[in-house]
Amino acid sequence: MPSTTHTRTTDSLGNPLTLHDAASAAAVNDFVEGFIACEARAVNVLNAAADTSAIVQASCAALHMFAESADAPRNARPFIDQALAHAPEATEREQRLVAAVAAWVNGDLPRAIALHEEQARQHPRDLASLKLGQYHLFNRGDSPGMLRLALQALPAAAEVPYLHGMLAFGWEQCHLLDRAEASARHAIALCRKEPWAHHALAHVMLTQGRIREGTDFMASMSDTWTGLNSFMVTHNWWHQALFLLEQDRHAEVLALYDQQVWGVVKEYTQDQINAVSLLARLELAGVDVGPRWTDVADHLALRLADHVLPFLDLQYLYGLARAGRMEAASTLKRNLEAHAATRTEAQEHTVWQQVCVPAAHGLLAHAQGDWATAVEKLGVALPRLVEIGGSHAQRDLFHQIWLDALQLNGQWAAVQNVLQPLVNGQPESVRLARQAKVVNAALRLPD
């Protein structure tokens, strides 16, 4: 039977808590504050796992789900079962958060999102719920939903810097760059150590072609990237690497890869895709990355049956193929196709079948030197790529691969049509200018 002895208190944002052990409040605050600030201390809630309070158990379940691995739901299950058992003792806010995490564990993302949206209306200072809702919406390519969710909390939590970071990324993903920059700078004015706001501003500057400014900005903020979760620290350095890559500063990019991007938590999905993406971009820019693929592929080879998110699967597949692990890549492609065929939720079925499967064919074809198939299959997927999730900057990898396939297939006119607008929008990019020079020479056009 659930315990009936409990303490009523609030978290650091003023949201009501129901705890069996009053000492667990510190651990819950570490989860809430750590999660919204992208800090590693979010995991401290696991230290309070002996407390069977619904909010503690649901927070532990969420942490396990963030592993983004095939076994994450199984690892989260005991915690969410405890949370559901003790939910009747908790407040309505806590019950809704428990229900949302339970829906996530059960694979019902539309229900999870609906509950996070309701929570934002009823309890706009529950910013952990809000950030979790944004995470799900991001993974489904719903940037307007991310932005609406953050705007819902603005009147009630305007003094919290991390809300403005969440707003900034929502604005940026909706291509509303001036508002994104204003929100990011406001977040940083409230708290200089706001890595998600740094990240949003890096997106803005890259999109607007402010390459040198972006490089300087990220370097100026990097002293604050301490105590963060591995995703946030490796990903912000990944963004810095993108700025350097546009400037053909290849030795510095390789050094960042070795020292900051790969090797923090090699087992983690996000660290793996940062590595795949950066190595692939380096090779597309003509850089020899040496034996670096081998270590990444050893970790990717354990993910052949994950299928947590199509965005992740596609990068695992391409990384394995670039590393020469064609058998593993082909196995992952077959598994991915079988998974796509079994999806029952409408949006998920459509995305896996109509976007992910052709993209997987195209990526594998590119890695195998079948340029015509790569052009055809990626050409099918690219117009709808937003549906697989990921950010504009992350998905740009797939556009670069397609452009490379077009060029290697000798479709120079098509390459010029795609490349020149990119050059126009990125006048500081040495990488794109160098590519345009090759294309113009092939087409006998003036440089």
Question: Hey, how many other C-beta atoms are within 10 angstroms of the C-beta on 127?
Answer: 27
Instruction: Examine the pLDDT at 405 and tell me if it is beyond 60.
Output: yes
| Mean pLDDT score of the chain | 97
Nearest to 20 by CA among 75, 94, 70, 78: 94
Nearest to 40 by CA among 260, 219, 225, 198: 225
- Give the C-alpha separation, 307 to 68, whole Å: 9
Instruction: Examine the pLDDT at 263 and tell me if it is beyond 70.
Output: yes
Quote the pLDDT of residue 224: 98
**Do residues 56 and 45 touch, judged by C-beta distance below 8 A?**
yes
122-161: per-residue pLDDT in tens? 999 999 999 999 999 999 999 999 999 999 999 999 999 9
Higher pLDDT, 338 or 5: 338
**Cα atoms in the Cβ-side hemisphere of radius 13 Å centred on 198:** 27
Report how far apart the first and last C-alpha atoms of the chain are (Å, whole number): 77
Contacts 24+ apart (CB under 8 A), 175-182: 176/147, 177/204, 177/207, 177/208, 180/204
59-72: per-residue pLDDT in tens? 999 999 999 999 99
Question: Hey, how many other C-beta atoms are within 10 angstroms of the C-beta on 292?
Answer: 19
**Do residues 435 and 248 touch, judged by C-beta distance below 8 A?**
no
Mean pLDDT of the region 38-57: 98
Quote the pLDDT of residue 139: 97
Mean pLDDT of the region 376-400: 97
Quote the pLDDT of residue 260: 98
77-109: per-residue pLDDT in tens? 999 999 999 999 999 999 999 999 999 999 999
Quote the pLDDT of residue 447: 85
412-421: per-residue pLDDT in tens? 999 999 999 9
Instruction: Examine the pLDDT at 4 and tell me if it is beyond 60.
Output: no
Quote the pLDDT of residue 1: 38
Instruction: Examine the pLDDT at 446 and tell me if it is beyond 80.
Output: yes
Instruction: Examine the pLDDT at 3 and tell me if it is beyond 60.
Output: no
Question: What 8-state DSSP symbol labels residue 398?
Answer: H
Quote the pLDDT of residue 2: 44
**Do residues 119 and 88 touch, judged by C-beta distance below 8 A?**
no
Mean pLDDT of the region 229-233: 97
**Alpha-helix runs per DSSP H in 158-249:** 161-173, 177-190, 195-207, 211-221, 230-246
283-330: per-residue pLDDT in tens? 999 999 999 999 999 999 999 999 999 999 999 999 999 999 999 999
The dihedral through the CA atoms of 286, 288, 293, 296 has a sign that is: negative
Quote the pLDDT of residue 5: 73
Percent of the chain with pLDDT over 90: 98
Question: What domains are there in the chain, each with its CATH number?
Answer: 7-157 (1.25.40)
**Do residues 276 and 320 touch, judged by C-beta distance below 8 A?**
no
367-380: per-residue pLDDT in tens? 999 999 999 999 99
Q: What is the CA radius of gyration of the chain?
A: 22
